[in-house]
Structures are given as C-alpha cells and as structure tokens.
Amino acid sequence: MPKRDYYEVLGVPRDADADTIKKAYRRAALDCHPDRNPGDHTCEERFKDVSEAYQVLSDPQKRELYDHYGHDGLSGAGYTGFTGVEDIFDHFEDVFSDFFGFGGSFRRGRPRRQAPRPGRDIRKTVNLTLREAAFGTTKTVHLGRPGPCPDCGGSGARRGTSPETCGTCRGRGQVAHSRGAFVLTTSCGDCGGTGVRIPEPCARCEGGGQVLEEREIEVAFPPGIDDGVSIRILGEGSPGTMGGPPGNLLVTAGIEPDPVFKRDGDDLVVALPLAFARAALGATVRVPTLEGETELEIPPGTQPHENFRLPGLGVPHLRGRGRGDLVVVVTLTVPRKLSRKQKKLLTTMLEEEETEE
Ligand SMILES: [Zn+2]
Ligand SMILES: [Zn+2]
C-alpha cells in the first residue's frame, strides 16, 4: 500500500507553520488515541500514521527532505518511522505532556511483566571476635534466600497448567479510566499490575513462584577487617525477575568488644595497671599481645596515662602489608588498705617529699 501524503494525513496545507502542524497533530492524536479507543485497530493505525507524519513535519530537516524527495527521500536517509505504539509514546512522551499537561499518566502502561528487574541485595551481619577480625577467618552464613519454586519452575501455576494473560488489562498490567476528555491509567487490580493471571496456583509457592531456599555460604573475612565493613558476594542476593540479574549478598563484620584490647584503627590499646611505687621505681612488666605476651621496660618515674608504643603488635592492615601498634597505657593503682608498716613507710616518704619542697 503506497504511503499517504503527510500533509494530507494531518490535514494541513503544504505551507503550514510549526504551530498549525502541532495543533493538527494534537487534535488527531486526542481523537484516535489508543487509550480512548481500546481494541480499535483502525484508530490505532490512524494514530500511528498521524504520529509518523508529525514526527517528519515537526522536524525542519526531515520536512525539507520530504518536501523535496517524498517518502523515498526519508527512507534513503535511513529514516524508518516507528516500530509501534509504545515506540511513539517513548518518542513523544514530552510532546504528550506538553499537550495534555500530565503526560506520564496519559502514557499507556507498558506491560510491566516484560521488564527485567534486578534482584534485591541481601544483608547479613556476622559477629567476629577481635582476634578473628585481626587474623582473618571464614564463617558460614545461613541464608533463607528466595529462589524459583521447584514445583512450578517459578511460574506460580500448578504443574500442568499455565499462567494466562490477564483479561481485564489484556496483559498490560494497567487499565485506562476515562476522565472527561482524558484517560488515566492505573495499575490493574485483577492481576496486581503483572499482566498475568494464574488460574490454578501452585500449592508449594501459593502462586508466588518463589520459595525460600536454605543455603549455606562460606564467607572469608580478610585479616584486619574492621567493625561495620561489608564483604560483597556477587550474585548471591535475591534472584532477578524476568531475566534480570540477581542481587548481591552483603555480609557486615560485627566485631565484639574484647575484655583486654580496645581497637583504635589498626592500633590496639591495652591498659597496664601499676602500683605507684612500681611506676616510681621502674620495672620490667609483661603485657598481653594478640599472640600471647611480651616484655616491656617501664622506666623510673613513669606517670599515669603515659603510654608506650610497641610497633607491629597491632592489627594487620586490611590493605597493604604490616600491622598497627600495640599501645600500652599506664594506669596507677592506689591501695585501699595499708598495713601499719606500709603506713609508716608512706608517711616517712611523704615527710621527706615535703621537706624537699
Ligand atoms: Zn510453585
Ligand atoms: Zn490485569
């Protein structure tokens, strides 16, 4: 069938200006809009025709090509027109909103069930001791992950039956309601917007198409991992729908407080209680490390809160080589009870200190 003249299709003269063309398209598009004439193929064809004509005549370059060489000029330049109604809505989304003031709702609902959607991420927290976090460890994570139902293969329909296209929305997932001259679309209530109806639901998944799969996943925590840091395991999240990719599993390290060490970045802080006489006289003391113990020389006259840094005895750096430090902080202990002898010695000492002043 030979193509009709675009000016004729829109009913405008060959010298019509842009505004006249736009107005003509607006009238025609409103008149034969598929949302207002559902199932009317003559209307749909006309809608396609006027849209194609408008696309050419509203574009100065295409219009010139058409004026000089006709339809052959356009196809020769690689212009192919629209593939269908959805294509027109995609193309003229802004035009329709310009026309009607609420383009998004005028736009006909795309069948939602056809859109691939990625699955959601699953988040888990695993508790680690400070030592496990420092040296790295592997933990088993138990997941109740939604997966396709094995009985129905994920369709939600009982074995031997199959899902049907929803009759109410004819598979579009959305239905049109007339509001005076306009048509509003809303999600179809009969199929929940999926465009599909399941006549006999699968007993195992109750028609949802998904069941919880019990899964165990080994998660390796690298040495030096800090509290709140997550390990991402690609593709172990919830499955995608309609061929969409699965989400990821994110496992967060929750590091339990340690009775001995406090973590400060990659440094470890440990308190060293000393009798004040020891601090005054100096001493060799044993301090705890992640691996066991080490000796530390406390010089005479050490003050409360003074700290000593032991390099390389902290937490391994998560990125790069080496380790943080062990920081030993001195605290002084004061006896609550004194023997008579101790009291005498301390009094003597005090008297001597005060004489010196
Ligand atoms: Zn099932
Ligand atoms: Zn429906």
Identity of residue 346: L
159 CA to middle of ligand 1, Å?
A: 8
**Exposed / middle / buried, residue 225 (Cβ in 10 Å: 0-12, 13-18, 19+):** buried
Q: Among the ranges 67-76, 139-148, 161-170, 291-300, which has the highest mean pLDDT value?
A: 291-300
Give the residue carrying structure tokens 């009870």. Answer: 337
Going by their DSSP bridges, the two strands 293-298 and 249-255 should be labelled as unpaired
More confident residue, 224 or 68: 224
Q: Which fold has domain 115-150+210-257?
A: HSP40/DNAj peptide-binding domain (2.60.260)
- Tell me which ligand sits closest to the C-alpha of residue 173: 2
Q: Where are the domains of the chain?
A: 6-108, 115-150+210-257, 261-356
| pLDDT of residue 130 exceeding 80 | yes
Domain 6-108, CATH number (from 3.90.600.10, 1.10.287.110, 3.40.50.11540, 1.10.800.10): 1.10.287.110
pLDDT digits (tens, 9 = 90+) for 205-246: 888 888 887 888 999 999 999 999 999 999 888 877 777 888
Distance CA(5)–CA(21), nearest Å, equals 14
**Taking ligand 1, which is a single-atom ion, which protein residues have CB atoms under 5 Å away?**
149, 151-152, 202, 204-205
Helices (H) and strands (E) in the chain, counts: 10, 15
Question: What's phi and psi for 19, nearest 5 deg?
Answer: -65, -40
Going from the Cα of 221 to the center of ligand 2, the distance in angstroms, rounded, reads 47
Q: Please state, as a whole number, how many other Cβ atoms lie within 10 Å of the Cβ of residue 205.
A: 21
Query: Rounded distance, CA 342 to CA 122, Å?
Result: 64
pLDDT of residue 108: 44
- What's the gap in Å between 171 CA and the centre of ligand 2? 6
CA distance 105 to 128: 51
Q: Evaluate if residue 104 carries a pLDDT over 50.
A: no
Mean pLDDT of 191-214: 84
Residue 90: pLDDT band (50, 70, 90) is low
Question: Is the fold of 115-150+210-257 the same as that of 261-356?
Answer: yes
What is the percentage of the chain residues whose pLDDT exceeds 90?
A: 40
| CA dist., res. 216 & res. 19, Å (int) | 65
From the list 264, 256, 307, 267, the residue with the least C-alpha distance to 289 is 267
DSSP annotation string for 58-99: TSHHHHHHHHHHHHHHHHHTT----SSHHHHHHHTHHHHHHH
Considering every ligand atom shown, identify the ligand nearest to the alpha carbon of residue 153 and give its number: 1
Nearest C-alpha neighbor of 50 from the set 77, 29, 78, 20: 29
Query: Residue 356: is its pLDDT beyond 90?
Result: no
| pLDDT surpasses 80 at 2 | no
Number of the ligand closest to the Cα of 204: 1
The reported pLDDT for the residue numbered 258 is: 94
Q: Residue 154's pLDDT is what?
A: 81
Ligand approaching nearest to the C-alpha of 193: 2
- For domain 261-356, say whether CATH 2.60.260.20 is its number: yes
Mean pLDDT rounded to a whole number for the chain:
85
pLDDT value at residue 290: 93
Q: Calculate how far, in angstroms, residue 212's C-alpha sits from the geometric centre of ligand 1.
A: 11
pLDDT of 100 over the 70 cut: no
Average pLDDT for 239-267: 89
Least confident of 184-188, 195-199, 238-242, 304-308: 238-242
- Across-strand partners of 137? 221
